[in-house]
Amino acid sequence: MGEPAPLTCSRAGCRETASWRIEWRNPRIHSEDRVKVWLACDEHEEFLREFLAARDFPLRVVSTAEPDAEPNDARTIA
């Protein structure tokens, strides 16, 4: 077995390694326990976060270095 594949940014056309997890949901169609995840490199974290926030989707941003981060370790935007 080789090395695991790096986490790749979710921004269209970007192939950079992701540094951030953007956890979000659309409250109009997702229950509170349903969370979707986009990955973002440093360059695209703000773009992806603002895209979701502009739609009033609850979200939180967590470093990929801290996959089990508690809410106090994340930036929650709701």
Confidence of residue 73 (pLDDT cuts 50, 70, 90): very low
Flag whether the pTM goes above 0.85.
no
Are the C-beta atoms of residues 75 and 50 closer than 8 Å to each other? no
The model's pLDDT over 36-69, given as tens digits with 9 standing for 90+, comes to 999 999 999 999 999 999 999 999 999 998 756 5
Residue 72 or 28, more confident: 28
| Residues 62/20, Cβ–Cβ less than 8 Å | yes
In percent, the amount of the chain with pLDDT more than 90 equals: 72
For strand 59-63 and strand 20-24, is the pairing parallel, antiparallel, or unpaired?
antiparallel
- Count of residues for the chain? 78
Residue 76 CA to residue 48 CA, distance in Å, equals 14
